[in-house]
């Protein structure tokens, strides 16, 4: 099928994809955030692969304290959450917020200062977490000094985004702006709960607050900013208008009112009150409403446009991310049911689910955003489209191997744990084949990260070379 006229103008890397005129957008902040995020993705990927190997070979790296599982795991979690994904998402927000508002970013200097603070936080974590300096709470391991810097950086980010939105040319805002502003407000609340309020409570209430934070770190930080990115880049990359803006607003408000109540489903069958568990289950099921609005909107947008996936790498990542979003958001409510939860809770099913959300869905959106924006930011073409295709398949095959293995292994593990006649250590030994597949899937994903990193940096370096050549021609 021949491409319609509007398609040839946009998919990245092709003729016409780069504006030939000088833009009013400086984009220095977006570049800082994205390039550092992609670099941390690679570094933390090494840590991820190391801890995956430790599951298979527990003696690996001996007893060197900084290389033990207990030290490396928080580095992996925080590095991926704050070093890669949130930094990449912020970089992409710095790209699309001014464009959607039709004005320049309010303060590029404040943006660069935010990026510097963010890099200090990530580098601080790389040093402090392996040293064992750790608050000791899931997803809130960063030492207090770094948590305080996260708050400072987040306030700077919020001021810049809200001030840009306040100066916008158009009264009606596209849905990505709503989700970005929602992310800023909700993150403030969620981060303060998990990193400050949790220390002023005790016992079960403390555990409950922590799980509220952990769940909403995904649901009210990475979900809304991830959806902001998908709502921006799916129409842009496919050069097709969104199916329904009204439906996207229904999804936004449904998410706003539903998500915050679901955290307690992590403590089902635990010592919290039954009514709280039931509320968490009810709201978890209600999540299917915003999820349906999002997925239906994206699939309806792609009606008649699916052929673009053959050539368009950002769109491949985006629509695969949407499928993973559907799967993970169906899985979440289902394993919030008491009967299912009795089997899968605390098993390997949960990391399988969490990785599908953060890697399969939101990282795919962020990778697509980087592939789309970096050539435009540096006024060049992507270094290699075939290599970008390789990245996609490494991520896809490695990710599927990882997710599916952990779901099956997690269910198996849960059934074994529910049988008191099986000694615990036997359930650990039984999982070794599962962890071996996970390690090899991890190698594929790491190849995906490596090719992605190389492609992006080669694009940037190529653009510098071209700029120097052009300057030499002008001077001659």
Write out the residues near another protein by the rule CB under 8 A. Answer: 19, 21-25, 99-100, 102, 170-176, 185, 189, 193, 197, 200-203, 205, 209, 232, 235-236, 239, 241-242, 244-246, 249, 253, 256-257, 260
Torsion of CA 327, 333, 334, 339, to 10 degrees: 160
Burial of 208 (0-12, 13-18, 19+ CB in 10 A): buried
- Nearest alpha-carbon partner for 61 in 43, 77, 46, 74: 46
Between 368 and 444, whose beta carbon lies closer to another protein? 368
Least distance (Å) between residue 185 CB and another protein: 8
179/229 Cα distance (integer angstroms): 9
Which is closer to another protein, CB of 16 or CB of 58? 16
CB of 83 to another protein, least distance (A): 28
Residue with tokens 């919290």: 272
Nearer to another protein, 1 or 21 (CB): 21
Cβ at position 249, least distance to another protein in Å: 6
Q: Which DSSP string do the residues of 217-256 spell out, in sequence order?
A: IIIIIIHHHHHHHHHHHHHHHHT---S-HHHHHHHHHHHH
Q: Specify the residue, 144 or 201, whose C-beta has the smaller distance to another protein.
A: 201
Cβ distance to another protein smaller for residue 102 or 433: 102
Q: Are 249 and 182 in contact (CB under 8 A)?
A: no
- Cβ proximity to another protein: between 22 and 426 the closer is 22
CB of 189 or CB of 292, closer to another protein: 189
Nearest to 195 by CA among 148, 250, 264: 148
* CA dist., res. 388 & res. 381, Å (int): 12
Specify the residue, 173 or 327, whose C-beta has the smaller distance to another protein.
173
Least distance between another protein and beta carbon 197 (Å): 6
Give the Cα separation of 48 and 60 in Å (integer).
14
Q: How far is the CB of 294 from another protein (least distance, A)?
A: 14
Residues 6+ positions from 340 with CB-CB distance below 8 Å: 334
If we measure between CA atoms, which residue out of 204, 324, 318 comes closest to residue 264?
204
What is the nearest approach in angstroms of another protein to the Cβ of residue 428? 36
Q: What are phi and psi of 131, to 5 degrees?
A: -75, -5
3-state secondary structure of 411: helix
Query: Measured from the CB of residue 112, what is the shortest distance to another protein in angstroms?
Result: 21
Least distance in Å: CB of 102 to another protein? Answer: 5
Closest CA to 308 of 251, 402, 239: 239
CB of 70 to another protein, least distance (A): 28
Q: Which of 107, 450 has the CB closer to another protein?
A: 107
**Residue among 367, 227, 216 at smallest CA distance from 295:** 227
């Amino acid at each position: 099928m021949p491409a319609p006229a509007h398609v040839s103008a946009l998919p990245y890397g092709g003729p016409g994809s780069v504006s030939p005129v000088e833009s009013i957008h400086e984009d220095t902040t977006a570049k800082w955030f994205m390039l550092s995020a992609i670099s941390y993705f690679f570094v933390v990927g090494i840590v991820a692969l190391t801890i995956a190997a430790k599951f298979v070979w527990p003696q690996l790296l001996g007893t060197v304290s900084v290389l033990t599982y207990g030290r490396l795991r928080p580095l992996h979690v925080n590095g991926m959450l704050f070093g890669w994904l949130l930094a990449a998402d912020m970089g992409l927000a710095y790209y699309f917020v001014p464009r959607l508002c039709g004005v320049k970013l309010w303060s590029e200097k404040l943006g660069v200062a935010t990026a510097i603070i963010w890099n200090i936080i990530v580098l601080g974590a790389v040093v402090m977490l392996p040293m064992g300096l750790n608050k000791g709470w899931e997803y809130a391991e960063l030492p207090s000094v770094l948590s305080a810097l996260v708050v400072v950086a987040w306030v700077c980010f919020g001021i810049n985004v809200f001030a840009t939105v306040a100066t916008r040319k158009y009264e009606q805002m596209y849905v990505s702006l709503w989700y970005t502003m929602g992310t800023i407000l909700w993150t403030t609340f969620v981060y303060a709960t998990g990193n400050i309020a949790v220390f002023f409570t005790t016992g079960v209430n403390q555990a409950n607050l922590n799980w509220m934070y952990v769940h909403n770190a995904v649901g009210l930080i990475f979900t809304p900013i991830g959806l902001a990115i998908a709502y921006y880049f799916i129409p842009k990359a496919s050069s097709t208008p969104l199916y329904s803006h009204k439906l996207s607003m229904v999804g936004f408000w449904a998410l706003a009112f539903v998500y915050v109540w679901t955290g307690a489903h992590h403590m089902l069958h635990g010592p919290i009150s039954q009514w709280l568990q039931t509320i968490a289950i009810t709201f978890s099921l209600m999540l299917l409403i915003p999820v349906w609005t999002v997925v239906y909107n994206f699939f309806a947008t792609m009606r008649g446009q699916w052929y673009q996936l053959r050539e368009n790498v950002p769109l491949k990542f985006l629509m695969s991310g949407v499928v993973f979003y559907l799967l993970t958001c169906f899985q979440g409510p289902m394993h919030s049911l008491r009967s299912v939860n009795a089997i899968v809770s605390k098993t390997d099913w949960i990391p399988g689910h969490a990785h599908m959300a953060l890697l399969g869905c939101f990282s795919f959106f962020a990778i697509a955003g980087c592939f789309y924006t970096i050539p435009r930011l540096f006024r060049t073409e992507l270094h290699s489209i075939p290599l970008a295709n390789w990245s996609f398949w490494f991520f896809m095959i490695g990710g599927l191997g990882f997710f599916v293995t952990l779901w099956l292994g997690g269910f198996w593990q849960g059934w074994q744990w529910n049988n008191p006649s099986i000694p615990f250590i036997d359930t650990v030994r039984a999982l070794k084949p599962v962890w071996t597949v996970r390690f090899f899937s991890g190698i594929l994903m790491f190849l995906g990260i490596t090719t992605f990193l190389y492609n992006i940096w080669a694009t940037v370096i190529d653009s510098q070379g071209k700029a120097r050549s052009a300057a030499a021609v002008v001077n001659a």
